[in-house]
Amino acid sequence: MTYPDPFEDKSPWETATPQTTTETSTPSPVEKPMTDGNKVRVTLKGGTSYDAPWITIDGVNIADALEQLANKEQVKELIDATAKVGQYFASTGKPSTAGAAPKRFENGRVVAQQADGAPEVVNDQCPHGRKHFAKDNWEAMFCTERERANQCPPAFKDKKTGKYLVKS
């Protein structure tokens, strides 16, 4: 089969001329399994979190996938083995960081954050803790003390340095 020249000035879709091909009667060396057009992949997940182990079963069609799942003893063995290997594999790695705050980037750099995930406030003397707020063109860390009279002064973000500074 010949293909149109991609560097021609005309579009290949405008005047398509039928190309003649010569068919050979040589059978394909690889026989494809018979399918009804319904390839299917069944995924069994061992939990709701992202780090839960999972198993996939591929069937050439729906009937094949159902037949594989119907073999309860083998499927049960596979699930048990996957659970054991998953537990062992998880025990060899770092503790899960699921639920941790994502890193914050500014100007291509990671913004320093405190252990609780809050951004760092320079020379912070607030014993109550701070909560981050951001509006259109400013960001600040405000004291979390309930009584307004006892709240510490806010720490506003310095756009030049990217750090939070307490304004007194």
**pLDDT digits over 71-107, tens only?**
889 988 988 888 888 778 777 765 555 555 555 565 5
- What's the pLDDT score for residue 101? 56
Beta strands in 10-104 (DSSP E): 40-45, 54-59
Distance CA 110, CA 114 (A): 12
Residue 165 has, within 13 A of its CA and on its CB side, a CA count of: 8
Give residue 93's identity as a one-letter amino acid code: G
Is pLDDT larger for residue 8 or for residue 48? 48
